[in-house]
Amino acid sequence: MSIKVDPGLMKELEVFGLKDAKKCFHCGNCTAVCPLSEGKTPFPRKLMKYLQLGLRDKILKSPEPWLCYYCGTCSEKCPRGADPGEAMMAIRRYLTAQYDWTGFARRFYTSERFEIVAIVIVAILVGIGLLIFNTGNPDWEHARLNSVWPKEKIELADLIMAAVLSFLLLSNAYRCIKFILGDMLWRIPFKYYKAEFKELIVTFLTQKRWSKCEDKMQWFVHLLIMTGYSTAFLLVVGMIRLFQRDDIYPLLHPIRLLGYYSTAAILYGCTYALVGRIRKSKSPYKNSHPTDWMFLILLELTTLTGIFIHFTRLLDWPMATYALYVIHLMVAVPMLVLEVPFAKWAHLAYRPLVLYVMRVKDRYLEAEASEVPTDETESEIKAVT
């Protein structure tokens, strides 16, 4: 089998955030200290080698970039300052662009201007949409969102958006699995996928592998962002009829408590990550790609405008509530429709997905190996026949 070598690979990955990988002299320290690197899938040194040798195909087929949670331990211990943790992150950005068949992800990662323009265009379209499509009869006495934008209409828009996002994300996820499993994807019987499915959900919601890393705070912060984000998504997309009510729920009502949890979790997680990136307080925060900033800023602004709306509703200020609602959706919708399928958020989907398919593959290969006759049983079979 021929191996293609691409001398321009490292240069190409620079725009995805790769910096010092050429300094690596393959001592193996990083793999030795990585708490997540295991026998069958050692990393990150292997990926540093692929980068230096220009082995693009090997990188495309590698699950390892998604097994790294970017704790930064390897970068701190690297004697050459080759920053293997950031190299793994740059590879993940590159892979996200490769999985995306629309080409948007590549444009997002390679052009800051494109990302900003795309966000502004979507925001303007949302603003215009809300100004055109409303009841035309707002309640100016009391803050009643449903008098301007009825929840049934918002729910319809939500469902259309969720369907488009799911299609984009799932089609890109399919390409991700196809790169990694190749033809084995269809050879593995369905029962193996079914048996491990629960693990996919648990890994997605808990990010539990991260807890093996030394810096538990990183795991905690991402857990907050992840659970806060998932709760908010559930409330505003799946349960909008219950969430967007004109009568405010009592303080201890479950819906209100879920809203408070998601707000507090995202606000704390995002603020921690933003401050960390500004101060460059630890290894994973030392090199920030523009897309890292954009996701955190949009998420923080979405949360803050959501808090302001809650207060203006409590104060029963209609004008401020309606104006903030428009601003809130002008931030939240671009964050959802652009970041989920094409940028930073997609990592949250690919990582548990790759862990899942690797478990499925391992189970399948183990079962296959246990069915292959050993030399002894082969000779027994021959003796019988």
Residues that bind ligand SF4 (CB under 6 A): 24-30, 34, 36-37, 43-45, 48, 68-74, 78, 80, 82, 84-85, 88, 213
CB 225 within 8 A of CB 264: no
Residue 92 or residue 328: which is nearer to ligand SF4 going by CB?
92
Phi-psi region of 17 (alpha: psi -120 to 50; beta: other; left: phi over 0): left
Q: Looking at beta carbons only, is 213 or 338 nearer to ligand SF4? A: 213
Q: How far is the CB of 304 from ligand SF4 (least distance, A)?
A: 30
Q: Quick check: 324 and 312 in contact, CB under 8 A?
A: yes
> Which is nearest to 181 in space by CA: 370, 2, 353, 6?
353
Q: How would you label 63-92 residue by residue, b for 16+ Cβ within 10 Å and e otherwise?
A: bbbbbbbbbbbbbeebebebbbbbbbbbbb
Considering the complex, what minimum distance in angstroms separates the CB of residue 278 from ligand SF4? Answer: 21
Residue labelled with tokens 């799946």? 238
Residue 45 or 328 having the CB closest to ligand SF4: 45
CB of 66 to ligand SF4, least distance (A): 10
Provide the minimum distance between the beta carbon of 67 and ligand SF4 in the complex, in angstroms, as a whole number: 8
Residue number with CB closer to ligand SF4 (178 or 286):
286
> Closest distance between ligand SF4 and the C-beta of residue 285, in Å?
12
DSSP 162: H
Determine how many CB atoms are found less than 10 A away from the CB of residue 167.
11
State the nearest-atom distance from the C-beta of 21 to ligand SF4, in Å. Answer: 8
Alpha carbon distance, N-terminus to C-terminus of the chain: 38
Helical packing angle, 216-233 and 190-206, nearest 10°: 110
Tokens representing residue 320 in the block: 């401020």
Q: Locate all alpha helices (DSSP H) within 111-253, ordered by sequence.
A: 112-132, 151-181, 184-187, 190-206, 216-233, 240-243
Minimum distance from residue 282 beta carbon to ligand SF4 (Å): 11
